[in-house]
């Protein structure tokens, strides 16, 4: 199996690359520049098996990819993932236009399978209306990132139906682990805990689903090989652990694992305006992690 991974140097992408190598795939990673580094260092045995295509996203076209005869493309590229802030123009350029561009290339080259990473932020206000959100729930995003990803999903879905593409679209919930952007919740909490510092957070009453990044990579790679994805019939899944837990409970559990002398200060920070108080996925159609 020959796969191209776009966004492979990012946090989740790094683990997807490692999982793909583990499964024996021939892995190509698209890097925007020579200086792009993986979120976590690989050992030498993994590094030597990765092949690179180095091109800015704006330069990628069917002619460049034609010679490689890819079986699948995994598109993990995204702009505006929290807490990073970007302009609306960049959200549209990367999350919408570039996603469609990759789908068009896949169609033109006859690439069998397209795997795309979505986000739970696409559900937005709709999440509060379900005990467990089904993949076909209405998309009512509350922030710019979620809006751009929801727009991209609708476009990709219609394009895949029209062009008879095998599309696996996976909405990822709260993934955490080593290599995550340091200002995200878990890395911030972990760093404070092992450093013996205090950590302040909201009351943490929002209920969601936390999943280790290794498991998320496993599920995304399953999208490459699953036999139940048909041409022109996109398969949409949620990626999560299946365990509903409050942010408060998750924080206390992690704090107890790593804390030295610091104190976990609950309720010291107010909620943001786009908080989904309950955002728990239904894992229907998701093949369980062994």
Q: 80 with 119, same domain?
A: yes
Residue 103: give its domain's CATH number.
3.40.50.720
CA-to-CA distance for 125 and 105, rounded, in angstroms? Answer: 34
Q: 110 with 191, same domain?
A: no
Longest C-alpha distance within the chain, in Å?
Answer: 58
* Under 8 Å between Cβ of 96 and 155: yes
**Domain membership flag for residue 288:** no
CA-to-CA distance for 79 and 85, rounded, in angstroms? Answer: 8
Q: 201 with 218, same domain?
A: no
The total number of residues written for the chain in this structure: 290
Among residues 239, 258, 285, the one where a domain terminates is 239
Total domains in the fold of the chain? 2
**Domain membership flag for residue 273:** no
CA-to-CA distance for 103 and 156, rounded, in angstroms? Answer: 7
**Domain membership flag for residue 284:** no
CA-to-CA distance for 270 and 84, rounded, in angstroms? Answer: 19
Tell me how far the alpha carbon of residue 91 is from its chain's centroid: 15
Q: 139 with 69, same domain?
A: yes
**Domain membership flag for residue 77:** yes
Q: 133 with 255, same domain?
A: no
Q: Could you list the residue range(s) of the whole structural domain that residue 190 is in?
A: 185-207+243-266
Q: 85 with 162, same domain?
A: yes
Q: 91 with 169, same domain?
A: yes
**Domain membership flag for residue 64:** yes
Q: 63 with 137, same domain?
A: yes
**Domain membership flag for residue 274:** no
Q: 126 with 225, same domain?
A: yes
Q: 138 with 254, same domain?
A: no
Q: 111 with 223, same domain?
A: yes
Residues 6+ away with beta carbon under 8 Å from 219: 170, 237, 239, 286, 287, 289
CA distances from 108 to 54, 104, 129, 206 (A): 21, 6, 40, 44
* Under 8 Å between Cβ of 176 and 241: no
**Digits of tens for pLDDT over the chain (290 positions)?**
999 999 999 999 999 999 999 999 999 999 988 888 898 988 878 888 999 999 999 999 999 999 999 999 999 999 999 878 899 999 999 999 999 999 999 999 999 999 999 999 999 999 989 999 999 999 999 999 999 999 999 999 999 999 999 999 999 999 999 999 999 999 999 999 999 999 999 999 999 999 999 999 999 999 999 999 999 999 999 999 999 999 999 999 999 999 989 999 999 999 887 777 899 999 999 986 55
pLDDT score for 42: 80
Q: 222 with 253, same domain?
A: no
Tell me how far the alpha carbon of residue 170 is from its chain's centroid: 8
CA-to-CA distance for 220 and 7, rounded, in angstroms? Answer: 13
Question: What phi, psi does 32 have (nearest 5°)?
Answer: -75, -25
**Domain membership flag for residue 22:** yes
Q: Is the pTM of this model over 0.75?
A: yes
Alpha helices (H) in the chain, listed in sequence order: 11-22, 44-47, 62-66, 88-90, 99-109, 144-163, 185-195, 213-225, 247-258
**Domain membership flag for residue 277:** no
């Amino acid at each position: 199996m020959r796969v191209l991974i776009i966004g492979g140097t990012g946090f989740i992408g790094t683990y997807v690359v490692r999982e793909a190598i583990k499964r024996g795939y021939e892995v190509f990673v698209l890097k925007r520049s020579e200086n792009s580094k993986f979120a976590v260092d690989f050992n030498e045995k993994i590094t030597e098996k990765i092949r690179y295509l180095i091109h800015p996203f704006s330069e990628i076209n069917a002619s460049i990819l034609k010679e490689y005869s890819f079986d699948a493309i995994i598109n993990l590229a995204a702009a505006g993932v929290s807490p990073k802030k970007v302009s609306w123009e960049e959200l549209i350029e990367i999350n919408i236009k570039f996603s469609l561009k990759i789908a068009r290339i896949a169609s033109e080259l006859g690439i069998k399978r397209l795997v795309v990473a979505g986000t739970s932020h696409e559900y937005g206000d709709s999440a509060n209306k379900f005990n467990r959100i089904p993949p076909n729930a209405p998309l009512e995003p509350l922030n710019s990132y979620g809006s751009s990803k929801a727009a991209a999903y609708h476009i990709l879905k219609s394009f895949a139906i029209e062009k008879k593409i095998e599309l696996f679209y996976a909405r990822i919930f709260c993934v955490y682990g080593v290599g995550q952007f340091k200002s995200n919740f878990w890395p911030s909490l972990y760093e404070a805990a092992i450093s013996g510092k205090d950590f302040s957070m909201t009351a943490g009453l929002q209920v969601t689903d936390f999943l280790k990044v290794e498991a998320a990579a496993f599920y995304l790679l399953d999208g490459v090989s699953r036999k139940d994805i048909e041409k022109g019939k996109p398969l949409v899944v949620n990626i999560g652990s299946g365990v509903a837990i409050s942010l408060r409970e998750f924080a206390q559990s992690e704090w107890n694992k790593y804390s030295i002398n610091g104190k976990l200060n609950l309720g010291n920070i107010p909620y943001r305006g786009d908080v989904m108080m309950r955002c728990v996925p239904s894992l229907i159609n998701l093949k369980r992690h062994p």
